[in-house]
Amino acid sequence: AQKVTQAQTEISVVEKEDVTLDCVYETRDTTYYLFWYKQPPSGELVFLIRRNSFDEQNEISGRYSWNFQKSTSSFNFTITASQVVDSAVYFCALSEVGYGSGNTGKLIFGQGTTLQVKP
């Protein structure tokens, strides 16, 4: 069965600190996608990144970076020089890749990590 685990329930840091959010996943599929979403207090889930299982290159986007390690089934997210605006709940999610009308469109979410960045 597919499963996503975010072991950190809450993290609190002071502004400008670096912070890493952990994500470990389980799947029997060899082809899948991984995602990170941000949920600010307004409630809307904001898409941050998608990674497919064949691409283990790390990615950096501004202050955000992602480390995908298939060997440990992990897809960790690092925020460098955190800011108060980064305060939100962050979700890691997993989905299978579908062919045609196969098992697609279903995201399995972790329980989320609440990040609080204090000024």
List contacts with other proteins (CB under 8 A). Answer: 33, 35, 37, 42-47, 50, 52, 91, 93, 95, 97-101, 103-112
Query: In the structure encoding, which two tokens stand for residue 37, read together?
Result: 């979403």
Least distance to other proteins, CB of residue 99, Å: 7
Residue 85 phi, psi dihedral angles, 5° rounding: -65, -10
Least distance to other proteins, CB of residue 93, Å: 8
- Taking the least distance from each CB to other proteins, the nearer of 43 and 62 is 43
Q: Which residue has the tokens 């204090």?
A: 118
- Taking the least distance from each CB to other proteins, the nearer of 62 and 100 is 100
Query: In the structure encoding, which two tokens stand for residue 84, read together?
Result: 């108060």
Is the CB of residue 34 less than 8 Å from the CB of residue 24?
no
